[in-house]
Structure 1
């Protein structure tokens, strides 16, 4: 319904709500103890998947462990919604690179040993 007394050139807009005043605390202002651990500690965030951390750390030492724990961590993160997906992926990448480099080094090492044995450059005692 329209108001017959309303001006047709003015849109039908409700009036703004009344302004509220800020409370004044005066001498009864609350005091906050910032030395208390409940105020000094940061709020607890979402939990990071432990296997993702293990994957990243073990990638620098044992590549196979990093690959296994990285895949398990990604599976758990998908199910639980925990954080640490980037850590798990980094552990997987570093783990796979380390595994490939280790295989190449082993092949080269055995090739050098095989060449040395076949040419007779190895002395036995």
Structure 2
């Protein structure tokens, strides 16, 4: 190829050739241990007096000893949103209504209470951003389901009593 390259018939120059690529790329040098701990057998720096703020160590969290080399940078995990208490109460009351269906209508009443608690809890969760939306929804579903079954059971009981021919009335 001549330098400078000769232009083509349309007046443009051809692109330059690609640079040569080395066939073998050596791996990066291996370092022993975690960064900042030195080579094995020489001891890890940082033992002795705790490091003070501003001496190169980041603030961390290590069960009351912030200067420890084993601390977590940035502190512990952030706390999640608190769970709404009414959501828990809704699910507990609704589950208790399942057992209450064996006791002459108490399950239906408890189911209504659990479902209403669930609706109130979901409204409060939307307003405050607290956790427990799934608990409240489960309380609503179980509560209304048990209430519906209790109403069907009561209607069936009344139907069988009214249509019973052995009562003599």
Larger RCO: Structure 1 or Structure 2 (Cα < 8 Å, ≥ 6 residues apart)? Answer: 1
The count of corresponding residues between Structure 1 and Structure 2 is: 96
Q: How far did 1:67 drift?
A: 1.1
Larger radius of gyration: 2
Checking the alignment, whether the CA contact within 8 Å between 2:81 and 2:129 is kept in structure 1 is no
Range with bigger deviation, 85-94 or 44-53 = 44-53
Aligned to 1:25: 46
Going by fraction, where is helix more abundant, 1 or 2? 1
2:146 & 2:155 partners in 1: Cα distance? 14
Normalization by structure 1: what TM-score? 0.64
Q: How far did 1:22 drift?
A: 2.4
Partner secondary structure for residue 26 of structure 1: coil
**Correspondence 1:68 to 2:116:** yes
1:113 & 1:76 partners in 2: Cα distance? 44
Structure 1 unaligned blocks of 5 or more? 1-8, 11-20, 35-41
User: Over the residues paired in the alignment, what is the CA RMSD in angstroms?
Assistant: 2.9
Normalization by structure 2: what TM-score? 0.49
Residues 11-40 of structure 1 show CA distances to partners (whole Å, capped at 9, x for unaligned) of xxxxxxxxxx72721323578569xxxxxx
Partner secondary structure for residue 45 of structure 1: coil
2:140 & 2:83 partners in 1: Cα distance? 17
Match of 1:46 among 56, 81, 84: 81
Match of 1:80 among 123, 128, 151: 128
Partner secondary structure for residue 88 of structure 2: helix
Checking the alignment, whether the CA contact within 8 Å between 2:83 and 2:132 is kept in structure 1 is yes
1:85 & 1:106 partners in 2: Cα distance? 32
Checking the alignment, whether the CA contact within 8 Å between 2:118 and 2:136 is kept in structure 1 is yes
